[in-house]
Amino acid sequence: MLFTQTKNYCSYPILDSGVSSFYQLYDDNSDRHKHQYHISESSLTDPKYLQSQGLRLDTLIETETKTTPKPPIIKRILLVDDDPDITLTFKAGLDGHYYGVGDKKKRFEVYAYNDPLLVLTEFKPHFYDLLLTDIYMPNMNGFELCEKIIELDVNIRVCFMSALEVNIRALREVYRNVGFGCFIEKPVSIDYLINRLAAELD
């Protein structure tokens, strides 16, 4: 059944008054919502309003970018030396060290071993960026270790260390499959080691 509004709603004055008040309240609210809608709708086509909102959005994006800098790139170093004092000293000096600036900022993450045989047992291919190994070690020297690691991960970079004089030319003839990177003479300062490894990784 369809009801329509008339002047005389019914024969009961009290009910007529209530219905009349309801319709009046409905009409007032309807006009108010229509007015608000027209205001918000017109603002969407107002160039000044749109420009202010665009600037506000740019500011939010810029603020968010500044407050959330990119995390540094992790460079994982596999350190192998049979002398525990050396591995402890080098790990303490290198681990967590930052180098580079801005989006190119990097951080060393060092995994130290004293036994080359244990290294091969726990080695994870495509995990480390650089192998830093002593040359003269018991059970397995640094070149033998390097040969076996390269078989597992051909992309790893290599730096050798030694406190003794090394004939690089002769070693290249013996270990033809070894990717010779840099040679570091011990003893060495932590600052020099940081700069040398950073240059090798970059």
- What is the C-alpha to C-alpha distance for residues 28 and 25, in angstroms, rounded to an integer? 5
Which has more pLDDT, 132 or 46? 132
CB 158, CB 131: distance < 8 Å = yes
Indicate the pLDDT class of residue 1, thresholds 50, 70 and 90.
very low
Across 35-44, 51-60, 79-88, 89-98, least confident range: 35-44
Residue-wise pLDDT tens digits, 100-144: 887 789 999 999 999 999 999 999 999 999 999 999 999 899 989
Q: What is the 3-state secondary structure (H, E, C) of the chain?
A: CCCCCCCCCCCCHHHHHHHHHHHHHHHHHHHHHHHHHHHHHHHCCCHHHHHHHHHHHHHHHHHHHHHCCCCCEEEEEEEECCCHHHHHHHHHHHCCCEECCHHHCEEEEEEEECCHHHHHHHCCCCCCCEEEEECCCCCCCHHHHHHHHHHHCCCCEEEEEECCCCCHHHHHHHCCCCCCCEEEECCCCHHHHHHHHHHHHC
Helical packing angle, 84-94 and 190-201, nearest 10°: 70
Across 31-35, 110-114, 138-142, 147-151, least confident range: 31-35
- Which pTM value belongs to this model? 0.64
